[in-house]
C-alpha cells in the first residue's frame, strides 16, 4: 500500500504539466456548464396571449394593376397581453408578425414573411353600443393621442401589460398577401424581442375582416405610408 502511494506521488510529480491541463479543462467545463444552466434558470420569460377585441387583419384592393396582377395593401392589428413569468426583469424591444403568403406551397415548405411594428396615424377605438362613448384601445409601446398614457414596456417579474400592436405591409401584388384558411382566419406568429436579445414566440389565428369593418376601428387602417381612402375620424 505504501509503495502504491509512493508510485502515485512520483507519477504526479513527473506528469505535473498534464495534471495542470486536466484541472484547467475540468474547471473550464464546469464553469461553462454552470453558467449555461444559470442562464436558463435566471432569465425573463414573456408569456404572450391574444385578446380577441381589436384583433384582425384586412386586405385593401387598391384598384391598380402591376404586370396584369392586382395591387393591394395588407395590415394587421393584434391586441396582446404580455406577462413576465420568468425570474428576472426585462423590457420589450420590438415586436414582429410573421405570416404565410397566399401561394400554393404547403406550410412545411414555406417560410413566414415578417412585418415590423408600424406607427398608426390614429388610435384604435370603437363606439360602445347604445352610447355616444368610445372605447379606446391602448397601444402596447406607442403613445395614444386620445388620452395620456405612460409608455412602460419594462416588465418586472410577475408584471403584465396589454396593448394593441399594428403592422402594415407595403404595396404588393399577386400572392404577396396573407393566406386565408378555410374558416377565413390567418395563421400568424408574434415574435417579441427583449432588450437582452431573447426571443419569445406565440402562434395564433387572426380573423379576416373587410376593409370597411377595419375602418370602424381606425380610419387610417392600412394607410400609414400613403392614404388611399379618405375617411373622417369621428373624434
Instruction: Judge whether residue 190 has pLDDT over 60.
Output: yes
Angstrom distance (rounded) from CA 185 to CA 99:
11
pLDDT of residue 234: 47
The DSSP-derived string for 123-155 is -EEEEPTTSS-EEEEPBSSS--SSS------EE
pLDDT of residue 104: 77
Its sign, for the CA torsion 144, 150, 154, 156, is negative
Q: How confident is the model at residue 14 (pLDDT cuts 50, 70, 90)?
A: low
Q: What is the pLDDT of residues 125-162, one digit of tens each?
A: 998 888 888 999 999 999 999 887 788 899 999 999 99
pLDDT of residue 79: 98
Percent share of the chain, pLDDT over 90: 62
Instruction: Judge whether residue 10 has pLDDT over 70.
Output: no
pLDDT of residue 235: 45
Instruction: Judge whether residue 97 has pLDDT over 80.
Output: yes
pTM, to two decimals: 0.79
Q: How confident is the model at residue 205 (pLDDT cuts 50, 70, 90)?
A: very high
**Range in 80-84, 115-119, 222-226 with the lowest mean pLDDT:** 222-226
pLDDT of residue 24: 59
Q: Where are the domains of the chain?
A: 2-41, 46-217
Angstrom distance (rounded) from CA 233 to CA 211:
15
pLDDT of residue 170: 93
Q: How many CB atoms lie within 10 A of CB 191?
A: 16
The DSSP-derived string for 202-231 is EEEEEEE--HHHHHHH-TTTT-SSS--S--
pLDDT of residue 188: 97
* Residue in the structure block whose three cell numbers are 391598380: 64
Amino acid at each position: 500500500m505504501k509503495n502504491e502511494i509512493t508510485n502515485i506521488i512520483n507519477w504526479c510529480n513527473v506528469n505535473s504539466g498534464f495534471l495542470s491541463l486536466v484541472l484547467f479543462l475540468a474547471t473550464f467545463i464546469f464553469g461553462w456548464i454552470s453558467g449555461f444552466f444559470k442562464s436558463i434558470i435566471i432569465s425573463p420569460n414573456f408569456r404572450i396571449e391574444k385578446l380577441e377585441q381589436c384583433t384582425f387583419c384586412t386586405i385593401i384592393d387598391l384598384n391598380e394593376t402591376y404586370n396584369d396582377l392586382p395591387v393591394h395593401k395588407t395590415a394587421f392589428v393584434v391586441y396582446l397581453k404580455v406577462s413576465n413569468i420568468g425570474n428576472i426583469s426585462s423590457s420589450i424591444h420590438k415586436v414582429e408578425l410573421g405570416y404565410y403568403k397566399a401561394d400554393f406551397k404547403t406550410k412545411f415548405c414555406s417560410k413566414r414573411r415578417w412585418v415590423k411594428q408600424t406607427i398608426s396615424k390614429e388610435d384604435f377605438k370603437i363606439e360602445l353600443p347604445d352610447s355616444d362613448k368610445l372605447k379606446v384601445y391602448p397601444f402596447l409601446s406607442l403613445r395614444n393621442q386620445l388620452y395620456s398614457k405612460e409608455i412602460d414596456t419594462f416588465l418586472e417579474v410577475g408584471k403584465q401589460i396589454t396593448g394593441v400592436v399594428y403592422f402594415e405591409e407595403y404595396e404588393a401584388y399577386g400572392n404577396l398577401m396573407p393566406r386565408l384558411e378555410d374558416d377565413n382566419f390567418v395563421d400568424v406568429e408574434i415574435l417579441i424581442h427583449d432588450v437582452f436579445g431573447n426571443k419569445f414566440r406565440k402562434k395564433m389565428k387572426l380573423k379576416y375582416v373587410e376593409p370597411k369593418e377595419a375602418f370602424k376601428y381606425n380610419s387610417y387602417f392600412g394607410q400609414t405610408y400613403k392614404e388611399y381612402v379618405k375617411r373622417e375620424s369621428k373624434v
